[in-house]
Structure 1
Amino acid sequence: MVRGLSQWTKTLSFPARVSPQRPAKESKVFHVSPSASPTSPPSPINDTMDKAPIITDENFQDTEAEKAIMGSIVYCIHHKDGCKWSDELRKLKAHLNTCKHDAIPCGNKCGAMIPRVLMEDHLKYTCAQRRARCDFCAKEFTGHTLEKHTGTCGYEPLYCENKCGMKVQRRHLGQHKLGECAKRLVACRYCNKEFVFDTLGAHHAKCGRFPVACPHRCETAVLPREDLEVHLKDHCTTHLLSCTFKDAGCRFKGNRFSLDKHLEESAKMHLSLMCSLVTKQQHQITSLKSAISKLSLNYTGTLIWKITDYAAKMSEAKAKEGMELVSPPFYTSQYGYKLQASIFLNGNGTGEGSHISIYIKILPGEYDALLRWPFSHSVSFTMFDQTVIAEKACNIVESFIPDPTWKNFQRPSREPDSLGFGFPRFVSHEMVKKRHFVKDDTMFIRVKVDPSKIVAV
C-alpha cells in the first residue's frame, strides 16, 4: 500500500505557523535539527538564532523552508518496534512502502492490518480466510472453520479413556469401549458379576457357577463347579468311595450303593478291626506318656516343691492320721540316683501333731546298676520365708549326710521301703504361723542333693 504525504506525516511534529502581521517579539520560531526524530516535537528557539530557517503562515510554502524540513534526518515511525532505518524526511514515504514493520492489509482480505514482518505467519496460521488442511482427515478448511473442526475430527486418534493403552480414531472410540477394550467391564455369563474383560478368564477358572463335567463321567453331563463336591459325595453313581472304616484297615471301595451293602454285611469284621486299632492306639498312648514323662523329669539334683491349698491339706492331715504328701521324682543327674521327697503336714513320729515332718527316699532307677552304693550324697531341706523384703527372709534349713550302714541308703529293690530318712521335727506349727512360710495358701520347699559336700550344712 502506498501512503500519501498526509498519512505518514501525521506521526511527525511540524513547526507551528506564525502570522506575519504579529510583532516580531510575539512570533515563535522553530528549529529543525538534521538529526531530529520525526516523532519528537521540535524545540522552540529565539528568532536571533544564526541561520535557522524561520517558518511563518505567509512563507510556509516557501521552497527553501520546505527543502530544509524535508532534508531533516528522521527515524522510521516504527523505530520503537525495532526498525533501524534513519534518513532524510523526504525518503520516509518510500521507506514505509517497504518497511517490514509497517502494517498493510491482509492479502486474503480478512480485514486485518498486519505488519509485513508478520504477514507470512498470519497468512499461514492466524488468517481467518487462510486455506488449511486437517492433519487427520486431510480435508481443506478456512482458518475460521478449521478452528471449529479441531477437537471434533472423527479421524483424530485418541487414547482410550479406560486406560487400556490403545489409540483409536474418535469416530471408532465408542465402538472400541463397548466391544474391543481390554479394560471394559463385562458381566460373567454364569454368575452375572461384573469384571474387567482381561481378568474374566482368571475368574472363570474359579467361578462357582462355571459349568464343569463330572470327573467320573456319570449320567450328569455338566454341573456348576460349586455343586461338584456335593454331587461326588451324595449323587454320583460311578464315584468309587472308600469304606468308612478304612483307617481301621478295611480296604473296600465301591459306589454308594455297594458301599451301603458292604457296611450292612461287614459289621463283625469292622468291629474286629476297630478293637485292634484301639489296642494299637493304647500302646501308642502309653509310649507317648512315657516319653513325655521323661522329658519333664528333673535331672538337676535340686527339687523346688510347691505345695498349694495348704490350709485344706493341713485340715485333712489333722483329720486323717498318717496322711503323707509325696513330691514328683527327680534325679541327681541324667544317669544318677532317682529320689523322692515326702512330707507330713501334721507331723510323723516324734513330731506328730506339733511339727511338719519331711523325708527323702531312694527309688529304683534305670541306671542303678552303674551307680556306687550305698548312697552318700549330702541332702538338705529348705523351707522358704516368703516375706516381701527378701533381705529380712529367715529360711529354715536342715541337712544330713547319709549313714552308709543304714539299709535305706543301699541299692533299692523294685519294691522300695515306704519310709525314707529325714526330720520328724522339721518345723513346728507355731513357727510356720509366726513367719511368712505360707503365703497365698502356698508353701515352697527345696530339696537339694550335693555329691561334693561331706559335711552337712
Structure 2
Amino acid sequence: MVRSLAQWTKTLSFPARISPNKSSKESVNIHQVSPTITPTLSNNSLSKNNEINTMMNNNHSSLTEVNQIYSDPESEKAIMSSVVYCIHHKAGCKWSDELRKLKGHLNTCKHDAIPCTSKCGAQIPRVLMEDHLKYTCPQRRTRCEFCNKEFTGHSLENHVGNCGYEPLYCENKCGVKVHRRHLSQHKIGDCSKRLLPCRYCTKEFVADTLAAHHIKCGRVPIQCPNRCDVNVLAREELETHLKEECTVSVHSCSFKEAGCRFKGPRYAMEKHLEENCQQHLTLMCNMVSKQQHQISSLKSALSRLSLNYSGTLIWKISDFSAKMAEAKNKEGMELIMSYSLVNNRHPLFPNGNGAGEDSHISVYIKILPGEYDALLRWPFAHSVSFTLFDQSTCPEKACNIVESFIPDPTWKNFQRPSREPDSLGFGFPKFVSHEMLKKRHFMKDDTMFIRVKVDPSKIVAV
C-alpha cells in the first residue's frame, strides 16, 4: 500500500532523545523556516522534535505542500533524520529509527494494515491476516465440519445452525445424540423419554416406564387362573371374579365356622347346601349353645373382677425384681391397677417418680371419667389409704407400712373428671424406700401385696 508523506507522518511519535549529530544551529534554521511554530528548548532536547511532530499531526496537505514549507534542503534533511517510533507502536511494534526509513518499515511491519488477499475489502494487519483468511474472511473457502460440504465464509455462517448432519442432544433429555435431520423422527419414534399412552388404560407414561406400568395396570387383560369359561378379564376384576363369579374356583362351605369341612367349586356348592341343610342346622345350634355358655362365663368373670362394693382391693405384684430392673432402664415406667368403685386408677412407679425417683416406690390415685359420673357425688371426698403388707411368718411381728390422705375438695383433680389428659393425681412419691424393702419381709417369692382402700364411710363435709 502506497502512502503519502502526510499520511504516514501524521501519527508519528518521537523518542525522548535527539541524535548527537544535530546542532543547535539546525534548530534555529527550522525556527526560521516555520515562523508559526515556537520551539521550546529544554534540558532533554525534545523541543525540535515536538515542534515537527505538532506540525505534521496538524498537516493534512500533500507532499508538494510539505516541500513548499520546507524548501530548504538542510531543514528537510534534519527532519528526515529525526528518530521516530513506528506508527503502530501502541499495537506492539518495537521498531524505532530515522524518519526516512519509516516508509520502508511500514512495507514489512506486521502490524500495518493491508487489503485482504482474498479481496473481501477489509484492511487487516499482517499479523492477523492468517487468522482472518482462515476464520473471518467472508470470501474464505471452508468446509462444514459435519456434512463436509464447501462454503464461503458468509454462506457458512448461514449454514451453521441448520446443517442436517450436526449431532444434537435430544430435547427430552434422554441422553442420546442424533443428527439434526433425524431429531424429529427420534423424538416421535425412538426417544426413551417420549410420552406414550397405555393401550389398556389410555393414560400417558414415559416410554421407558411403560413396561413397568403394564405389570400392574389394572386394565391389562388376563386369563382366569382356574381356566373357567371366562376367557379374558381385566386384572383389577380378577379378585371379584374369583370370589363371586368363577364357576370352578374352590371355596369352603359357608358353615365352616360351625364345623362343616366341605370344600368344592362354586357350581357344586349350591348342591351341597341343599343336601346338608339338617347337618348345617345342627352345627349352628351346637355353636350357639357353646357361645352362650362362653358369654355367661365371661359375664360372671367380668362381674367378679370389675365390681367392688367394699372399696378395698388387694394388688398382687409378681416378678417385682424384673419390673424394677425394667423401670431402671425405662424412664417413667409405671404399673397400673384399676377398679370401678369411682373409676379409680392407681399408678405405681417401681423406681419412683418426682421426689422419690431412683430411691423409692411411688403410688398415686387418679379419678377417671366413667359412665355413671352424673349420678355420683362430686367432688370426690373419700379417704384413701395404701398399705404395703409385711409377709412375715409370724403375724404378731409383722409391720405393715400404711400411708393415707383425705382429699382436698377444692383441688381440681378431685372434681368431676373430664376426658382431657390430666396429671398423675394425688399420692405418695416416697411411699417406701428401696432400702426398706430389703430390711423386712415386704417381698416374698419376688411378690409384694399392696392394699388400696377407698373408705366411703369417711366423707369430708363440703
Q: TM-score, normalised by structure 2?
A: 0.59
User: By how many angstroms is 1:194 displaced?
Assistant: 0.9
Equivalent position SS for 1:74: strand
User: By how many angstroms is 1:227 displaced?
Assistant: 2.1
Equivalent position SS for 2:158: helix
Q: Pairwise mapping of residues 173-184 of structure 1 onto structure 2 (< 5 A)? A: 173-184=183-194
CA separation of 1:30 and 1:310: change in aligned 2, threshold 3 A: closer
Deviations 1:43-64 (A, max 9, x none): 9xxxxxxxxxxxx987833332
Q: Pairwise mapping of residues 45-84 of structure 1 onto structure 2 (< 5 A)? A: 60-84=70-94
User: By how many angstroms is 1:166 displaced?
Assistant: 1.3
Instruction: In structure 2, give the amino acid aligned to 1:435.
Output: A
2:212 maps to 1:207: no
User: By how many angstroms is 1:65 displaced?
Assistant: 2.3
Q: Which residue of 1 aligns with 2:410?
A: 388
User: By how many angstroms is 1:245 displaced?
Assistant: 1.3
Q: Distance in 1 between matches of 2:281 and 2:262?
A: 15
Alignment partner for residue 342 of structure 2, among 289, 293, 306? 306
Q: Which residue of 1 aligns with 2:362?
A: none
Equivalent position SS for 1:87: strand
CA separation of 1:310 and 1:11: change in aligned 2, threshold 3 A: closer
CA separation of 1:39 and 1:185: change in aligned 2, threshold 3 A: farther
Instruction: In structure 2, give the amino acid aligned to 1:81.
Output: A
Deviations 1:354-387 (A, max 9, x none): xxxxxxxxxxxxxxxxx9999x999999894542
CA separation of 1:312 and 1:183: change in aligned 2, threshold 3 A: closer
CA separation of 1:294 and 1:58: change in aligned 2, threshold 3 A: closer
Instruction: In structure 2, give the amino acid aligned to 1:299.
Output: W
CA separation of 1:372 and 1:281: change in aligned 2, threshold 3 A: farther
2:54 maps to 1:41: yes
2:186 maps to 1:157: no
2:461 maps to 1:435: yes
User: By how many angstroms is 1:236 displaced?
Assistant: 2.1
2:240 maps to 1:230: yes
User: By how many angstroms is 1:182 displaced?
Assistant: 1.0
User: By how many angstroms is 1:279 displaced?
Assistant: 4.7
Instruction: In structure 1, give the amino acid aligned to 2:54.
Output: P
Alignment identity in percent? Answer: 55
Q: Distance in 1 between matches of 2:157 and 2:305?
A: 95
Q: Greater helix percent: which structure? A: 2
Q: TM-score, normalised by structure 1?
A: 0.60
2:140 maps to 1:130: yes
Equivalent position SS for 1:189: coil
User: By how many angstroms is 1:106 displaced?
Assistant: 0.6
Q: Distance in 2 between matches of 1:175 and 1:145?
A: 27
In the alignment, structure 2 segments of 5+ residues that lack a partner are: 15-31, 40-44, 57-65, 308-312, 318-336, 344-369, 378-385, 413-455
In the alignment, structure 1 segments of 5+ residues that lack a partner are: 15-23, 44-55, 315-329, 337-370, 391-424, 437-457
CA separation of 1:131 and 1:84: change in aligned 2, threshold 3 A: same
CA separation of 1:291 and 1:13: change in aligned 2, threshold 3 A: closer
1:78–1:102 CA contact under 8 A, matched in 2: yes
Q: Distance in 2 between matches of 1:39 and 1:205?
A: 95
Q: Distance in 1 between matches of 2:373 and 2:224?
A: 68
RMSD: 4.7
2:248–2:267 CA contact under 8 A, matched in 1: no
The count of residues paired between Structure 1 and Structure 2 equals 328
User: By how many angstroms is 1:168 displaced?
Assistant: 1.5
Q: Pairwise mapping of residues 324-339 of structure 1 onto structure 2 (< 5 A)? A: none
Equivalent position SS for 1:40: helix
Decide which structure has the larger Cα Rg and report it. 1
Q: Distance in 2 between matches of 1:83 and 1:381?
A: 111
